[in-house]
């Protein structure tokens, strides 16, 4: 794949200066907690985007997406946040960087990261490009700077997202999951169970359409709940400082109660997952995943009937210890914790049942923890 991307680059633009490999991410547990100063447990995956980058002296941003055979040429001066198409990830990255040079940039990218498959392909593009440009122009931005720039670039698009995806993609490490604490941005790495255990993603085939508006609404509800509780308990600054007793005592609105209950309990599930991984006794992760799903479905209300069915149906396969909706929600993927091998016959039956129930086609892929973004000067 790398050779194919390089071949295309050379054909169109000559010799590139930088190569970037930027992975997607999976999240074991800890959903809708990142923007609530909570805990998450993601890892960068092997599936990735490869990107060659170089300078040009014609003042243009020239972009080629190899897999979908699309190319764009954009004037690099006076860029402003864009909202449409995949080119916005590149444009918005340059806007976030306050890029004001006349030097143009050429990019060719491709890879095996499913686009729109719930593995954060948009953050992979954004983080990869920013890391590449950082090296190309020797800006010396730290990884934390890049996380924040990527978040600005993506938030320029409409989703008021947290920074779990960018952190996992930029800071990932082979074989490790990252327990990130967004109260102080600390990262603790844990060995991901391997050999006997596997993580699979089941892509529901349902595009997460509502994600922008509903996601932003969830976030606003949580922020408002914190303000309300803080009126009674002035040491409550974020949802992380809240306890379940605050929810029952100070929140009257049923919806706010459910949202905050999810976040508080989900943080506890992340801690429990880390303890299991530390002890090496990981079978119990399955139950935590299921509890997370039920909370995401019933309390945070970010699942869909199709994904609920998929999670329930997956439990009929003996060696799927647990599964849950992953990422922002409203479709996308489930993450499944599997002991041993998934039998082809079980997968086929699952695929058929899911298809006849929903009319959608399931896609399956195994995900393994891998390094975050890697850049190379050529």
| Positions marked active-site | 165
Contacts of 139 (CB under 8 A, 6+ apart): 97, 133
Smallest separation, CB 98 to ligand GLA (Å) = 23
State which residue, 132 or 162, has the beta carbon closest to ligand GLA: 162
Q: How far apart are alpha carbons 241 and 232 in whole angstroms?
A: 13
Query: Kind and range of the H or E element at 366?
Result: strand 363-367
Sorted by sequence, the CB contacts under 8 Å of residue 46 that are 6+ apart come out as 23, 367, 368, 370
In whole angstroms, what is the distance from residue 302 CA to residue 176 CA?
27
Q: In the set 162, 172, 193, 331, which binds ligand GLA (CB under 6 A)?
A: 162
Binding residue for ligand GLA (CB under 6 A) from 125, 131, 164, 236? 164
Task: Using the rule CB under 6 A, give the single segment among 85-93, 137-145, 161-169, 286-294 that binds ligand GLA.
Answer: 161-169
The footprint of ligand GLA on residues 27-66 (CB under 6 A) is 31-32, 34-35
Is residue 76 a contact partner of residue 28, using CB atoms and an 8 Å limit? no
Binding track over 274-313 against ligand GLA, x by CB under 6 A: ----------------------------------------
Q: Using a CB cutoff of 8 Å and minimum separation of 24, what contacts does 254-261 make?
A: 255/221, 256/221, 256/224, 256/225, 256/228, 258/298, 258/299, 258/300, 258/301, 259/218, 259/221, 259/222, 259/225, 259/299, 259/300, 260/222, 260/225, 261/295, 261/299
Cβ of residue 137: shortest distance to ligand GLA, in angstroms?
Answer: 27
Residue 36 beta carbon to ligand GLA: minimum distance, rounded to whole angstroms: 9
Near ligand GLA in 117-156, by CB under 6 A: none
CA–CA gap between residue 96 and residue 130 (Å, rounded): 9
Nearer to ligand GLA, 281 or 298 (CB): 298
Pair 112, 47: CB distance under 8 Å: yes
Question: Nearer Cβ to ligand GLA, position 33 or 135?
Answer: 33
165 touches ligand GLA by CB under 6 A? yes
For the CB of residue 261, give the shortest distance to ligand GLA in the complex, in Å: 16
The CA distances from residue 343 to 129, 307, 346, 350, in Å, are: 39, 21, 5, 11
The count of residues interacting with ligand GLA (CB under 6 A) is 10
Asked if 24 interacts with ligand GLA (CB under 6 A), we say: no
**Minimum CB distance to ligand GLA, residue 29 (Å):** 10
Measured from the CB atom, the residue of 193 and 327 that comes closer to ligand GLA is 327
Residues that bind ligand GLA (CB under 6 A): 31-32, 34-35, 161-162, 164-165, 327-328
């Amino acid at each position: 794949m790398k050779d194919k991307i390089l071949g295309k680059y050379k054909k169109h633009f000559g010799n590139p200066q930088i190569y970037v490999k930027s992975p997607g991410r999976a999240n074991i547990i800890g959903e809708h907690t990142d923007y609530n100063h909570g805990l998450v447990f993601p890892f960068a995956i092997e599936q990735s985007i490869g990107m060659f980058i170089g300078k040009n002296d014609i003042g243009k941003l020239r972009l080629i997406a190899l897999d979908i055979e699309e190319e764009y040429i954009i004037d690099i001066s006076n860029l402003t946040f864009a909202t449409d198409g995949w080119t916005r990830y590149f444009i918005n990255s340059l806007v976030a960087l306050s890029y004001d040079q006349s030097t143009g940039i050429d990019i060719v990218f491709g890879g095996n990261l499913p686009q729109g498959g719930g593995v954060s392909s948009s953050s992979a593009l954004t983080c990869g490009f920013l890391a590449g440009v950082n090296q190309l122009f020797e800006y010396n931005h730290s990884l934390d700077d890049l996380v924040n720039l990527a978040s600005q670039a993506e938030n320029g698009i409409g989703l008021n997202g947290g920074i779990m995806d960018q952190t996992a993609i930029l800071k990932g490490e082979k074989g490790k999951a990252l327990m990130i604490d967004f109260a102080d941005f600390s990262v603790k790495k844990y060995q991901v169970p391997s050999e006997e255990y596997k993580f699979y993603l089941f892509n529901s085939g349902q595009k997460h359409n509502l994600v922008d508006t509903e996601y932003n609404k969830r976030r606003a509800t949580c922020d408002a709940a914190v303000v309300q509780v803080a009126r009674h308990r002035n040491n409550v600054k974020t949802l992380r400082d809240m306890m379940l007793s605050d929810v029952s005592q100070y929140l009257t609105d049923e919806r706010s109660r459910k949202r905050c209950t999810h976040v508080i309990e989900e943080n506890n599930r992340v801690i429990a997952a880390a303890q299991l991984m530390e002890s090496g006794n990981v079978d119990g992760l399955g139950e935590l995943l299921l509890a997370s799903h039920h909370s995401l479905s019933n309390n945070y209300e970010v699942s869909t009937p199709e994904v609920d069915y998929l999670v329930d149906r997956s439990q009929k396969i003996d060696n799927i210890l647990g599964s849950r909706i992953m990422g922002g929600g409203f479709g996308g993927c489930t993450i499944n914790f599997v002991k041993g091998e998934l039998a082809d016959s079980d997968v086929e039956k699952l695929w058929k049942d899911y298809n006849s129930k929903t009319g959608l086609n399931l896609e399956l892929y195994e995900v393994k923890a891998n390094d975050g973004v890697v850049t190379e000067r050529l």
